[in-house]
Structure 1
Amino acid sequence: MRNVDLARSLLKASIPFADTARRMKRRLKPYVPNPIHTGFSFDDGIGLLHALRQIGADLSGDVLEVGSGWTPVVPLLFHLAGARSVTLTDLERLFDETSVPTAMAFVHPRLGGVAQVLGMEVDQLAARLPHFRPAYVCPWRADRHPAASVDIAISRAVMEHVPAREVPELFRELRRIVRPGGLMCHSIDNTDHWQHGDGKGSLVDFLRYPTDSLRWRLSQVNTQGRMNRFRHSDYLALAREAGWEIVSESGRVPPDILRDVLRMKEAGELAPEFADRDPHDLATTATLLIARRGD
């Protein structure tokens, strides 16, 4: 977490009417998605679909995405997979009239790979592509969403940004929102987002800062940069506590990240709340979680 990045984050957080300013900026200069980031979304969406097909999930129902962001690539993939309806949600408005066309333009040349994962014909997907018309709810409140109204609740790179105290309640609310027998499916990025981009620091560098330290508290002032630092096992435990049945779960532990954790542990650099945790759990950079509402 470089000082200049922290200062820039605090400056952005101090700008009044930031949401309005963002919309005005987009009207003057339309948002141009980063193809690398959009590619990550596409790959994660394919991973979600593959995992759901592996457990025999029915993909033809109503889908709710928690935290849709700029470009709805993942919900578009669920539409192609046969979803009856797709609802996008955000706390702050990012979706606009360019979002769907941008997602379609990105996915269209990749329909061959989508068809292979879904076991469908490219022509089928091409015919379905133009009919993607998702609902959009913003600002979204989980406690106000109708009960038993969707079959699958999904998220991609969102759960890590939900404040720690709110994740248990969100899991409980999603269990209320999902119909009996339905699923929630989350792709979670457990890395230090402050270290994305420059490639100079470890992707678990944030584990060195105590939660009550001034530096960490300052890093969480800007809502766009908040991270709860939950690890793979935390999400599994919280899902079970909320009444979900874990159907499938996997975590990615890159060898170089595990070496970083072991080095930090040996050097006494881990924050007290992480010092006694399982190094493999701390080094898990990605979580894929599928859980079922059992009743």
Structure 2
Amino acid sequence: MHWRIKGTLQKALGYLPGGDALHFQLQRRFGGLRDFSGELASKIDDWTIMAGHLRNAGREFAGMRGFEIGTGWYPTFPFACYLAGAARITTYDLNPHLRADLTRACVETLERFLPVIAEAGGANPEAVRQRYDALRERILAGDDLETASSGVIHYRAPADATKTTLGEGEVDVVFSNSVLEHVPAEVIEAMYRESMRILAPGGIMFHSVNCGDHYAYVDRKLHQLHYLRYSDRQWQRWNNAFLYQNRLRARYFVDEARALGFRIELNTATARPERLRQLASTPVHAQFAGIPPEELCITSVDFIARKPRTAEPA
């Protein structure tokens, strides 16, 4: 599909009554949800990457109190964290996208990933299997997430991740996966401030950000730096409620956390030769001219930002 067609269609759906339902049906028939098993496998891959980074940072899943920003249509990350032994996972979504049918499909499909979850999460395989069997039975019986997970998973939507109901120091890990690239800059700052408040001393944020042009996934003629051709005003023609892209570069997400007092312990941002070549052949708009090519070309970053254990000296 041509990217302009998709952008225009999504923008129109954003203004129509029932546009959310129509957009979901289009995703099921033509979008990422056509191959549910493949998409879920990709999410599990992302979760195992996060799990490795968290464990390298000294954060085990056993007993973990987590806060997820952006639940989505089905709760892959909360389920995987629960199966790995988390004590509590609170997951917020600005809009109530969670669907019972996809949640059931997620649980049933997760069975083949139990060994992966146990290994990546440092959990006992038998304990993972026991938790899974109980979860599956309850979800298929129609229980909500909190009941099905014995009180571990708390789903809140519509909910504002910049103003949570969580107490100060109540969370060990704040995390998101492919969410921050869809959030305005001022909201990201507010999320970081709230994360600093709810994190326990020494707690960490992990964010995986896909900051390339998402239209490249539907239009094979594009690469992920394509959207740098346009000014903010021009980009508004295709930016929309269903695929809002802030076009912030990888460095912004890390630097903003550092500026708010977090200590950066992981930053995977790398200028890949392929992206540098693509950038060299792209007529970049003047508003991006002040960003060095080695930063402008980066289209993904995983990072860990830790809340200091003690107050920084004035």
- TM-score (structure 2 length as normaliser): 0.82
Q: 1:203 maps to which residue?
A: 224
Structure 1 residue 237, shift from structure 2 partner? 0.8
Please tell me whether residue 40 in structure 1 is matched to residue 61 in structure 2. Answer: no
Instruction: Please provide the CA RMSD for this pair.
Output: 2.4
Q: Give distance in 1, aligned partners of 2:213 and 2:127.
A: 40
Q: Give distance in 2, aligned partners of 1:20 and 1:138.
A: 17
Task: Work out which of the residue numbers 135, 140, 144 in structure 1 matches 2:154.
Answer: 135
- Give CA deviations for 1:250-288 in whole Å, capped at 9, x if unaligned: 125443222101222xxxx11122223222322222211
Q: Give distance in 1, aligned partners of 2:24 and 2:222.
A: 33
Task: Work out which of the residue numbers 241, 257, 279 in structure 2 matches 1:239.
Answer: 257
Structure 1 residue 195, shift from structure 2 partner? 1.5
Distance 1:5 1:99, change over 3 A: closer
Distance 1:177 1:19, change over 3 A: farther
Structure 1 residue 41, shift from structure 2 partner? 1.3
Please tell me whether residue 73 in structure 1 is matched to residue 76 in structure 2. Answer: yes
Structure 1 residue 24, shift from structure 2 partner? 10
Q: 1:118 maps to which residue?
A: 121
Task: Work out which of the residue numbers 73, 83, 86 in structure 2 matches 1:83.
Answer: 86
Q: Give distance in 1, aligned partners of 2:220 and 2:37.
A: 18
Q: 1:225 maps to which residue?
A: 243
Q: Which amino acid aligns with 1:146?
A: L
Among all aligned residue pairs of Structure 1 and Structure 2, give the percentage whose two residues are the same amino acid: 25
Q: Give distance in 1, aligned partners of 2:105 and 2:243.
A: 25
Q: Which amino acid aligns with 1:135?
A: H
- Give CA deviations for 1:100-121 in whole Å, capped at 9, x if unaligned: 4322222210222222323334
- Whether contact under 8 Å (1:46, 1:77) holds in the other structure is no
Q: Which amino acid aligns with 1:182?
A: G
Q: Give distance in 2, aligned partners of 1:128 and 1:253.
A: 41
Q: Which amino acid aligns with 1:139?
A: P
Task: Work out which of the residue numbers 106, 109, 112 in structure 2 matches 1:106.
Answer: 109
SS of equivalent residue, structure 2 residue 206: strand
- Which segment is superposed worse, 91-100 or 12-21? 12-21
Q: Give distance in 2, aligned partners of 1:163 and 1:177.
A: 21
SS of equivalent residue, structure 1 residue 34: helix
Q: Give distance in 1, aligned partners of 2:35 and 2:71.
A: 14
Q: Give distance in 2, aligned partners of 1:254 and 1:106.
A: 34
Q: Which amino acid aligns with 2:259?
A: E
Distance 1:46 1:252, change over 3 A: farther
- Whether contact under 8 Å (2:10, 2:241) holds in the other structure is no
Task: Work out which of the residue numbers 251, 254, 270 in structure 1 matches 2:284.
Answer: 270
- Whether contact under 8 Å (2:60, 2:122) holds in the other structure is no
- Give CA deviations for 1:23-61 in whole Å, capped at 9, x if unaligned: 9999xxxx8763332222111111000001111114322
- Whether contact under 8 Å (2:230, 2:285) holds in the other structure is yes
- Whether contact under 8 Å (2:263, 2:306) holds in the other structure is yes
SS of equivalent residue, structure 1 residue 251: coil
Q: 2:296 maps to which residue?
A: 282
SS of equivalent residue, structure 1 residue 135: strand
Q: Give distance in 2, aligned partners of 1:32 and 1:156.
A: 20
SS of equivalent residue, structure 1 residue 224: coil
